[in-house]
Homo-oligomer: A and B are copies of this chain.
Amino acid sequence: MIVLMQPGTNGVHVAEVERQVATDGYEAHVWHGSRTIVAVVGHSSRPLLPETYANLPGVEKVTPVKVPYTLASRQFHAEDTQIKLNGAAMGGEKVLVIAGPCSVEGREAIIEAAHAVKEAGATALRGGAFKPRSSPYSFQGHGELGLQWLAEAREQTGLPIVTEVMDPNLVGLVCQYADVLQIGARNMQNFTLLNAVGEARKPVLLKRGMSSTVEDLLMAAEYILAKGNHEVMLCERGIRTFETSTRNTFDANAIPVLKHLSHLPVVADPSHAVGKSEYVEAIARAAVAAGADGLIVEVHPDPANAMSDGRQSLDPAAFARMVESVRRIAQAVGRSA
């Protein structure tokens, strides 16, 4: 349920609405945009009566929410949410590019990669210190050491760090180093982890599960938002289908659909979506043309010798060309990059 306050409402009125929500056993999330809005969510044995709220002082209108994700919905925020990143904002006018290797392979390697992607125009650095691997016998990442190397790369280049967290017990540790917490596709419905990053005060990049619907993705975001962390970026990274010529199927449709249903920024990952480096640039362009606010791209100084995902990684020169061509697309849709 959405409670729209009258223009120029004061804190006393909002507090009264919040008190009523508490009395009824629900939770209130207040949004101060062009207008103040209170979203009422949660579950309780007491019914939620719209008329009770409509009659409170300072309330203009009470509307039910037709989708199961109240806080992630456009009904709650009409305006695009903007999440600050390196002097710009994901969800703002500029299309932001996050780039870097699949895994942090070593100190020199990640610092070299950071300089390379910065030079080509990246806004942030990606790199995995904790790696979800299908096999228990594959390299699982350098762990905290990897985080330290990422921090060193940030120090040298100024690029903020985007890195994955897989374990609810390590959210605190990862927060000490990371600027953005990444939730991987395989953990999109790991509700314990979603709750843990919801308690954190760092932006979250939430990857769509490989067979999750757009609605599933928005519900997963709602878990994080409901815990009070309002900085969630939604990431389309390809879904699993019958097609075998590419690693996944990039669901371009999801981009305008997510932008229509939600105020959260939408990031596309063309690397995982297509899985072969020769097609990454085309899909990066398509994503921005469809309305994506940002990109996250795998770049490796020497893809042929990468420890993971080399087949889909761009080398720095190809990445620089990609940024250039994405910039032209961004301009064609009235943005910059």
**Beta-carbon nearest neighbor of A274 in chain B:** B253
Query: Does A256 lie within 8 Å of B243, measured CB to CB?
Result: no
Query: Does B43 lie within 8 Å of A139, measured CB to CB?
Result: yes
Considering residues A68, A240, A255, which has the most beta carbons from chain B within 10 angstroms of its beta carbon?
Answer: A240
Residues of B within 8 A of A278 (CB): 256, 260
Query: Does A241 lie within 8 Å of B252, measured CB to CB?
Result: no
Which of A143-151, A155-163, A189-197 contacts its partner? A189-197
Query: Does B222 lie within 8 Å of A135, measured CB to CB?
Result: yes
Interface residues contributed by chain A, number (CB under 8 Å): 74
Query: Does B274 lie within 8 Å of A282, measured CB to CB?
Result: no
A132 at interface, CB cutoff 8 A: yes
A81 at interface, CB cutoff 8 A: no
* CB contact list, A216-247 vs B, under 8 A: 216, 219, 222-223, 226-227, 238-246
Residues of B within 8 A of A34 (CB): none
Q: A211-B210, A223-B136 are in contact. Are A286 and B279 (CB under 8 A)?
A: no
Q: A42-B137, A191-B166 are in contact. Are A260 and B279 (CB under 8 A)?
A: yes
A52 at interface, CB cutoff 8 A: no
Query: Does B168 lie within 8 Å of A167, measured CB to CB?
Result: yes
**Beta-carbon nearest neighbor of A253 in chain B:** B246
Which of A100-108, A315-323, A324-332 contacts its partner? A324-332
